[in-house]
Amino acid sequence: MQNIPKIKGIYFYIHPMILVVDSGSTKCDWIAVDKDGNQLLDKLRTKGLNPAILAEKKLKKTIKKSKELSAHRHTVTHVFFYGAGCGTENPRLLLKGVLENFFSNAHVEVNEDTLAAVYATINHKTEAAVVCIQGTGSNCSYYDGQKLHQRVNSLGYTLMDDASGNYYGKQLIRDYYFNKMPHAIRVAFEEKYNLESDYIKYNLYKQPNPNAYLANFAEFMFLNKDSDYIVELIKSGFRLFAQNMIMQFEEELKTVPVHFAGSIAFFSENEIKEVAKEFGFTVGNFIRRPIEGLVSFHISALKGS
């Protein structure tokens, strides 16, 4: 493909390809767009690229395995990567080097996944906001318009992650076994899942990713939101999250909104708004999949640069 001269180390093509990437430890989604945000390829998926747990050789192998990425590696002009394991400097630089080597004509940025939720939900690049993630896990940060601030270090799903998918899955299983579910909900729960105690314990203690296993049960809530029991379950979990995570930014909440990213938050919007009134903070945007908002954010930023 014909190119024009190199500018500040970046080749700009007549039809530049921009990659926006959202990676967890198990899977990684890639969206390729042009400078106007038009999607150039079907959304690609590779195995997760977590540089905190994968060696450089494995990272390279995973990327090269994608025929689509290999075919377009020299036409990519920008890579905006957000992922698990990228919150500390050494793993982040390791992955950045791998991506720069593979996409040799591209400007590469690698950031932690929390920042993806920020960029996907804020209304403009310098907007200050408290941003919450509620998916398989949960977290809460304050973005001052330039930098990200966290006052609680997450200890993972066994001790934290209030109002996350794995939290609600655990609560549903506990209520089932402690006989706290209404009869109709209990019957529906039995019909949808294998609730044999040995099977549950096998998945929790013998299989990898027990947090993801628990989060699978959360779907049940959104299929049964006509139940007062389910609505109160959602709200009680979010009250814990608000008290322990959101209210750590009590002073900032006087002037900034609270945005939400993730499927749990997206499908709990009404319940979250009700609890927000109880705590007195302003609710902002809800987005189910951060990668969709990331594309818009980066296209706008590139046009404004």
78-96, pLDDT tens digit by residue? 999 998 888 889 999 999 9
- Report CA dihedral (75, 79, 83, 86) to the nearest 10 degrees: 120
Q: Is the pLDDT of residue 253 over 90?
A: yes
Q: Is the pLDDT of residue 227 over 60?
A: yes
Q: Is the pLDDT of residue 181 over 60?
A: yes
Record: fold of 17-119: Nucleotidyltransferase; domain 5 (3.30.420)
CA-based nearest residue to 269, from 255, 293, 287: 287
CA distances from 15 to 3, 5, 101 (A): 9, 14, 21
pLDDT (mean) for 103-110: 96
What is the percent of the chain where pLDDT is above 90?
69
Residue 149's pLDDT is 92
pLDDT 10s digits, 29-58: 999 999 888 899 888 999 989 898 889 999
pLDDT band, residue 257 (cuts 50/70/90): very high
Note whether 170 and 162 are within 8 A (CB).
no
pLDDT band, residue 249 (cuts 50/70/90): very high
Residue 112's pLDDT is 87
Q: Is the pLDDT of residue 16 over 80?
A: no
Q: Is the pLDDT of residue 62 over 90?
A: yes
Strand order in 148-149's β-sheet? 148-149, 138-143, 129-134, 258-261, 283-287
Q: Is the pLDDT of residue 209 over 90?
A: no
What is the percent of the chain where pLDDT is above 70?
94
Separation CA 59–CA 209 (nearest Å): 20
Record: fold of 126-288: Nucleotidyltransferase; domain 5 (3.30.420)
Residue 154's pLDDT is 78
On the question of a common fold for 17-119 and 126-288, the answer reads yes
The pTM of the full predicted model, rounded to 2 decimals, is 0.80
Q: Average the pLDDT over each of 149-153, 188-192, 198-202, 262-266 and give the range with the smallest value.
A: 149-153
Residue 13's pLDDT is 41
Q: Is the pLDDT of residue 7 over 60?
A: no
Where along the chain do its domains lie?
Answer: 17-119, 126-288
